[in-house]
Amino acid sequence: MSKILEVKDLHFHYGEIHALKGISLDVEEGEVVTLIGANGAGKTTTLRALSGLLGRITSGEVWFMGERIDNQKSHVIAAKGLAQCLEGRHVFGNLTVRENLEMGAYLRKDAAAVKKDFDYVFDLFPRLLEREQQRAGTLSGGEQQMLAVGRALMQSPKILMMDEPSLGLAPLVIQDIFSTIKRINADGMPILLIEQNSNAALKVANRGYVIENGEIVLKDSAASLLTNEDVKKAYLGGQ
């Protein structure tokens, strides 16, 4: 399999704070790769650095679809096919469900393909079709998360990066979200997943990386990480 995303020795500073210290990871075609770690370990900073939302990185390289993209503008990176679902959903509350999805497709000109993706999103999330003309700000948290994922898919991305998609949701809704992640991946979408629910993330992932204090300290298959005693004790609630 070829690498869709490859990160090499990525460093990033917030002022004097050395937030990312040599992050290296990759995502291959068809994979779900998860990045797990405690709050403040650098997970969200990593994703935001990859998508250009933090401005210039300190050093390192980010390669996407064989092209180096570090330090390009975020809208340029998005147009190349790297989509990110931000932590906290960030839907446009005053816009309808349909208008939010249209914003995801804003850079696209292929009307027929956009129509096809609308159909795909509504097939994934029938609830969004039911609420197509409803303002996004009136949706439940789970429905807003569906909308955030759907909006990212309307970009027609080559990879989907997801930051805490289960955050603040009820257990049954979380089950639905992870089932949807599995389906999106089965339909061919590579996914880079950040998730506080490490156990659930590793169960849908092919591989995982553990980040501590801005550094990757462990990488392995998801199955091996699930049975690793140190990982179980630190992140999976094991004793």
**Contact yes or no for 194/164 (Cβ under 8 A):** yes
Residue 237, pLDDT score: 72
Residues 70-110 pLDDT 10s: 999 999 999 999 999 988 778 999 999 999 999 999 888 89
Q: Over pLDDT 90: what percentage of the chain? A: 86
Nearest to 192 by CA among 54, 82, 41: 82
Q: pLDDT of 112-165, one tens digit each?
A: 999 999 999 999 999 999 999 999 999 999 999 999 999 999 999 999 999 999
Of 125, 157, 161, nearest to 144 by C-alpha is 125
Structure tokens at 191: 């996914």
Residue 108 pLDDT: 86
pLDDT of residue 6: 98
pLDDT the model gives residue 239: 41
Query: Do 59 and 14 touch, CB atoms closer than 8 A?
Result: no
For residues 160-189, average pLDDT: 92
Nearest 10 degrees: Cα torsion 113, 114, 116, 118? 170
d(CA 101, CA 238): 40
Across 103-114, b (16+ Cβ under 10 Å) vs e yields ebbeeeeeeeeb
| Beta strands, E only, 81-178 | 82-85, 159-163
Would you state the pLDDT for residue 170?
Answer: 87
What domains can be seen in the chain, in order of their start residue? 1-81+158-239 (3.40.50.300), 91-156 (no CATH)
CA distance to 3, 48, 104, 208, per residue, from 193 (Å): 16, 13, 19, 9
Q: Does residue 238 register a pLDDT over 70?
A: no
For residues 236 and 158, the model is more confident at 158
